[in-house]
Structure 1
Amino acid sequence: MSSRERVLGRVRRALAGLPADPVPYEEAVARAYLRQHGERSPERTVELLAENLADYRALVHRCTAGELPAVLAGLLAARGARTVLVPPGLDPGWLAASDAERVADRAESTPAELDRVDSVVTGCALAVAETGTLVLDGSADQGRRRITLVPDHHVCVVRVPDQVVASVPLALERLDPTRPLTWISGPSATSDIELDRVEGVHGPRTLEVVLVGESR
């Protein structure tokens, strides 16, 4: 029995004698809030995403699908990346122009081994325009959660406009809640009581986002 099953079992036993709620949860919680703030075209939604990503200090790039391999190779070269961590389901053509050594996403990799990797390139599940947030769900093109938390440089590819939604409520409709969701708003950063900003504490110090569409 796992720890999760043990905890849930205790919760069920503690609630066993309580009467059922007269109104189902889905009906008891009012959901009349705004689903998004204003109406936008898909193009304007993508522009808002780019603006908010940059506001969070992510580095934003735009290119077409045909330009993506060269763009990724250029970003890795500019970083001086000699090694790049690659999720198992990442399109191999994305890194075809890069000379960096590929590092596989392995379950047995230690934090120290991941910390020695120069960069990681992933896809994403969705991107939220109003909050400038990337959502990863552990799919094959994104890999395990830890590969985007330990290396210091993360390059995330977003297909626009298909993977861009306006708001968090709209994102939740398209995400599978049973998957390991990671919500990323900019590179890792925190501030102490004196508001001194420190980057790279809980994840990558540098986040680069490539918005890939039919046109720049």
Structure 2
Amino acid sequence: MAADLPGSPAPDLPARFAERARDYRATVHRTRLGELPELLAGLLATASGVVVPAGTPPQWTAALRPPRLPGDALTVADLDAPGLAVLTGCAVAVAETGTIVLDAGPAQGRRLLTLVPDRHVCVVDENQIVADLPDMVRALPDPTRPLTLISGPSATSDIELNRVEGVHGPRRLDIVCLQPDR
């Protein structure tokens, strides 16, 4: 790609990430830290409850109206409740594929939290976005942790290529890209 040649301007990784994530039918929002609590509150206003993993920054949940549920003690049956949503961060995000990468680190919780509830809202700091998969591997805080790579809401297609969403995970994925403060 021309943007990757020496002397060329660096690619706009957040824009590329958002474009690719939208290709996978994720909804992408961009905001700054000061606006984040209200944006998250608006996105999660209709949820019956919001699962919040350990290590989630308090500012993220400051304006939430639905009950906050700690992710550590919930069972599969609890997580499968109608209208439940999960709010997480991520370890890294990949611009080329529109993928968020979770490694069970702070604000991510255990893998089950992002696979069972019908809605997943993930906050991605734009500083966490890397260009491609080799960069992702280099950027991982701990490459020995198990990874969950998510590219859009859960979807599958049958032999006739009829797309069905939500069979193996959330039907709706909202990604909130947190822009650096100026």
Same fold (TM over 0.5): yes
Q: Residue in 1 aligned with 2:75?
A: 110
Conserved 8 A contact 1:187-1:206 = yes
Q: 1:214 is matched by which residue type in structure 2? A: P
- Residue 183 (1) aligns with residue 149 (2): yes
Structure with more of its chain in strand, by fraction: 2
| Larger Rg computed on CA atoms | 1
Match of 2:130 among 146, 165, 173: 165
Percent identity between matched residues is 57
Mapped to 1, the partners of 2:41 and 2:16 lie a distance apart of: 26
Report what 1:75 is aligned to.
43
Deviation at 1:38, TM superposition (A): 2.5
CA RMSD across the alignment? 1.8
2:30 is aligned to: 62
- Alignment-mate amino acid for residue 144 of structure 2: T
TM-score (norm 2): 0.91
Partners in 1 of 2:154 and 2:4 — Cα distance? 29
Q: Deviations over 1:172-195 (max 9, x none)?
A: 112223112100000000001111
Secondary structure of 2:34's aligned partner: coil
Q: Is the 8 A contact 2:53 2:72 kept in 1?
A: no
Q: Which runs of 4+ in 1 moved over 6 A?
A: none
The aligned counterpart of 2:64 is 98
* Unmatched segments (≥5 aa) in structure 1: 1-33
Matched to 2:51, the amino acid is: L
> In 2, distance between residues paired with 1:169 and 1:156?
22
C-alpha distance after superposition, 1:39-58 (max 9, x if no partner): 5526x111000100001000
Q: How far apart, CA to CA, are the structure 1 residues paired with 2:66 and 2:57?
A: 16
